[in-house]
Amino acid sequence: MIDSHILEAHHLVKRFGDFEAVRGIDIAIDRGESFGFLGPNGAGKTSTMRMISAVSQPSDGTISIFGLDPRTDGPEIRSRLGVVPQEDSLELELSVRHNLEMFGRYFDLPRRIVRERATELLEFTQLTERANDKVDNLSGGMKRRLTIARGLMNRPEILILDEPTTGLDPQARHLPWDRLYRLKREGVTLIITTHYMDEAEQLCDRLVVMDQGSIVAEGAPRSLIERFSTREVVELRFMTDDHEEYFERLSPFAERVEVLPDRILLYVNNGDDTLRDVHAAQITPSSALVRRSSLEDVFLNLTGRSLTE
Amino acid sequence: MLARSLPMIGSRRSLRVLEHNALVYRAQWVMLLSGFFEPLFYLLSIGIGLNKLVGPLPVHGQFISYAKFVAPGMLATSAMNGAMIDSIFNTFFKLKISHVYDAILATPLDVTDIALGEVWWALARATMYSASFIICMAALGDAGSAWVVLCWPGAILTSLTFSCVGLAACTYVRTWQDFDLVTLVQLPLFLFSGTFFPITLYPQWLGEIVSFSPLYQSAALLRGLSLGQFDWIMIMRAGYLLAIALLGLYVAARRFKRILAP
C-alpha cells in the first residue's frame, strides 16, 4: 500500500467506562497539511489527540501514522511526532534551557545535538534572553512558546497542538501563530485542536467540526462557511430579558434566525439591506452589528449551540 | 519468564528518567545533602544517648552493645523513609500536579519506563545514602563486625522494596491530605518493627504479626549481616523483601497506565 496519508484513522472510538468520548470518527491527513479539530470543550478533541499521538489506545477502530500501528510501534511513532499539550506540563524547577535539553534526551539525542537544537529553538520562539531563568518566572505566553519549542526538539514530521493559544491574551497569540505558520511553510504537518474560530481560520487548511464525540462537518474553513452559513450576519440586541419574543417578528427578514441569551442573529446575504428593512418595519434594537459569517456560525447552525459556552 | 509475565519491564529508556531526576536534584542540592546528615543524627541521638542507659542485649546467644543492636535497625528505617518519601511525595507531584509524566509520554518512553525509571532513581539514591550511613556506623564503632559491608546491598534491597511500595501507594493518593494516611502507616511500622528492641519482648501473637512487617524483616536481615551471624532465614527475609518489591512495582505500573494513558 502506498502511504498516501501521513495519518489515517478509521472508526476511531474511545470509551471511559460507560461514557463514549469519541464515537467512531474517520480522519485522513496528508503530509504537509494543516488540519484542525474545532469543537467546544468535551467534544472529544483531546481524547482523539491522545489516540493519534500514540499515547492512549483506541477502544475500537484503527490508526495508521507514518504507515505504522501505534499498538505495536508506539515508541517509533512518538519519536517522529511533536506534541504540544493543552497543559504546559513544564518542569518548573528547571531553567528554560534545561527543559528543552532534558526533553531532547528522552529522544536519545546526543548531548551536543540537544544543546544545538535548544539554542536554535530558543531563538525561534524568542526566548533566548530567558534561557537561564526558571520556568516558574515566565509569563503564560512564554511558557506556551517554550512548550512549542519543546515539542520541536526531535524535529517532528507531525506537530500535534492541543488548544495552542487557549488562555493567552489576544496579543500574545500572534507570535505562536506566526511560528506555526513558518513551520507549516517548512513542510511540517500540523494537527490543531481549538475552540477559537479565528485560530482555525488562520491556521487550518482543512478542519473537522466535532460535537459530542462525532464529526459533524468537514472541509476548508471558507467552504464550511459557504456551505453551512450565509455570507453575512446581523447581530441585534434588544432591551429585554428574553430575546425569544423577537423571533417571530424577525423571521421574515432572514434565511435563518438564532436566538442567544443576550442577542439575536439574522443569517442573511446582505446585512446592511436587512438592517434597513428591520428599521423600516419599526423594530428598534438597542444595538446592531453587521459582520461576516465565521466558523462560530457554522457550529451554531450544525449543533444549535455556541462554541465557547 | 517471570519478567515476561509482568507488564513492567520497560526499556533502557527508563534510564532517562534517572537522568531527569538527577538534573532536577542538582538544582536542589540541599535536599540531597540532608540525606547524608540524617543517618548521623539517627546514630548520634539514639545510638549514643540510649547506649548509655541500655545495657548489652543478647542476640543469638551473644551479648552486644545496644548501639550495635540498634544501628542496623536505624539503617533499615532510614532506607525506608528515604525511599518512601521520594517515591510518594515527589512522584505524586509529577503524576498529578505538574503533569511532567504526561509530557514524557509524548516521547518514545512509555508508562512502564517511567515507573521503572523512578525505581532506578530510588536505587541510585539508596546506594549513596546507605554507603554514607554504613561509613558513619563503622566510624562510630556501631558496626557489629567487618561483615557490615554486606549491609550495603541489604539496605539497597530495603530501599527497592519501599520505593516500589511507595510508588504503588502514591497512585492512590488523591490530595495532599491523604499523606496523613501515609504517616499513619509509616509511624507504627517504624515503632513496632523491632528496630529499637528485639521482638522477642512482645507477646508471641504480636511478634507473629510484626514478622510480616517488611521493615522488621529488613532490620533483622541487616542486623544479622552487621553482626556476621549468618542464617538460612536471612535468604527468606531477602526473598520476602524482593517479593514485596515486585508486587509493588507490578501494581505501580498498572496504576500508572490507568492514570496516565487510560
Enumerate the domain spans of chain B.
Answer: 2-43+71-260
Encode pLDDT of B220-262 as tens digits.
Answer: 999 999 998 888 999 999 999 999 999 999 999 999 999 998 8
pLDDT band per the 50, 70, 90 thresholds, residue A3? low
Collapsing DSSP to helix, strand or coil, A206 comes out as strand
CB A53 within 8 A of CB A189: no
Enumerate the domain spans of chain A.
Answer: 5-225, 230-292
Q: Which of A74, A89, A98 sits opposite B98 (nearest CB)?
A: A89
Cβ contacts of A200 within 8 Å, gap of 6 or more: A36, A38, A192, A194, A207, A221, A295
pLDDT band per the 50, 70, 90 thresholds, residue B176? confident
H or E stretch at A187:
none
Q: What is the pLDDT of residue A308?
A: 61
Residue type, B235: I
CB A211 within 8 A of CB A302: yes
Residue type, B260: L
How far apart (Å, rounded) are the C-alpha atoms in residues B208 and B210?
5
> What are the backbone angles phi and psi of residue A23, rounded to the nearest 5°?
-115, 65
User: Which of the residues A86, A89, A92 would you substitute to probe the B interface, choosing the one with the greatest number of B C-beta atoms within 10 Å?
Assistant: A89
Q: Which of A16, A75, A151 sits opposite B110 (nearest CB)?
A: A75
Average pLDDT estimate for A273-295: 92
**Nearest Cα to B47, choosing from B72, B80, B79?**
B72
For residue A197, CA distances in Å to A40, A156, A192, A204, A235 come to 11, 26, 12, 10, 17
**Nearest Cα to A99, choosing from A131, A74, A76, A129?**
A131
pTM listed for this prediction? 0.84
Q: Which residue of A has its CA nearest to B19?
A: A102
What CATH number was assigned to the domain covering residues A230-292?
3.30.70.980
Quick check: A131 pLDDT over 90? yes
- The C-alpha cell at A103 is 526533553
Residues of A engaging B, defined by a Cβ cutoff of 8 Å? 16, 50, 53, 55-57, 74-76, 78-79, 81-83, 85, 87, 89-94, 98, 102-103, 105-108, 150-151, 154
H or E stretch at A268:
strand A264-268
Quick check: B104 pLDDT over 60? yes
Homologous superfamily of the A5-225 domain (CATH)? P-loop containing nucleotide triphosphate hydrolases (3.40.50.300)
Cβ-defined contact of B19 to A102 (cutoff 8 Å): yes
Encode pLDDT of B3-13 as tens digits.
Answer: 443 444 567 88
What's the full length of chain B, in residues?
262
Cβ-defined contact of A107 to B108 (cutoff 8 Å): yes
User: Which of the residues B25, B99, B107, B260 would you substitute to probe the A interface, choosing the one with the greatest number of A C-beta atoms within 10 Å?
Assistant: B107
Q: Which of B103, B104, B261 sits opposite A56 (nearest CB)?
A: B261
Encode pLDDT of A47-60 as tens digits.
Answer: 999 999 999 999 99
ipTM: 0.83
Say yes or no: do domains A5-225 and A230-292 share a fold: no
Cβ-defined contact of B106 to A78 (cutoff 8 Å): yes
How far apart (Å, rounded) are the C-alpha atoms in residues A32 and A44?
24
Rama region for A190: left / alpha / beta (φ>0; ψ in -120 to 50; rest):
beta
Contact list in A for residue B20 (CB cut-off 8 A) is 102, 105
- Residue B63 C-alpha, separation from nearest chain A C-alpha, in angstroms: 51
Q: Which of A223-227, A240-244, B27-31, B181-185 is predicted with the least confidence, judged by mean pLDDT?
A: B27-31
> What are the backbone angles phi and psi of residue A289, rounded to the nearest 5°?
-140, 135
Cβ-defined contact of B106 to A83 (cutoff 8 Å): yes
